[in-house]
Chain A
Amino acid sequence: QLQLQESGPGLVKPSETLSLTCTVSGGSIRSSGYYWGWIRQSPGKGLEWIGSIYYSGTTYYNPSLRSRVTISVDTSKNQFSLKLSSVTAADTAVYYCAKYTTEKNAFEIWGQGTMVTVSS
């Protein structure tokens, strides 16, 4: 059974770079027909798609965050990663990684989420 697990610092200082990794277990990140995405949810707010990546390295980003976001994939480790630069308090959120199934055009499997707070 496929599972995703986010990892990374829970506290990041303003103006620094937020870095998270999602480890995929129970299946291969190289499977065709799936993208691997990052979604965040600010406290008490809704869901915001950050971006997605295919195992080949093709990326898609939300235009609202594109200038600060980099998503990468490491197929040897079955992981994909998120970097968000120049963070502010507005970037405080629960960050989820998820598997996007192109056949369904939906995020079919989610990680449990990790809370990241931006504060000095």
Chain B
Amino acid sequence: EIVLTQSPGTLSLSPGERATLSCRASQSVSNSQLGWYQQKPGQAPRLLIHGASSRATGIPDRFSGSGSGTDFSLTISRLEPEDFAVYYCQQYDSSPITFGQGTRLEIK
């Protein structure tokens, strides 16, 4: 099983700042098999990024994904108030599908 470790656990930033979230895999993950999700309280996760760097339909271009191998990141270029949420990475390079434990992005 591929274990995904996200860091930091909590990130405190202000609107307008840049956020960089990390996802490290316990073994190499093909680029096409890494995704990022946003989850707000009481809501289901929403797909942001697939294939490590492709934005899902309707996702603003301030969200970008990058990385390869075992190290991936999600960057939010300029934080909007609605971006404060929990973010999860997910892989399906090998079964089972696994998720990271999440990074909470909170308002500073």
Contact = CB atoms under 8 A, between A and B. Distances in A.
Nearest to B102: A46
Interface in A93-120: 96, 98, 101, 104-108, 110-113
A94 B91 CA distance: 21
Nearest to B36: A106
B50 A110 contact: no
B99 A49 contact: yes
Interface centre among A64, A107, A110, by most chain B C-beta atoms within 10 angstroms, is A107
A26 to B, nearest CB: 15
B44 A108 contact: no
Interface residues of B, number: 25
Contact of B95 (A60, A96, A113): A60
A62 interface: yes
Interface residues of A, number: 22
A106 B50 contact: yes
A6 to B, nearest CB: 10
Contacts of A64: 96
Interface of A: 37, 46-49, 52, 60, 62-64, 96, 98, 101, 104-108, 110-113
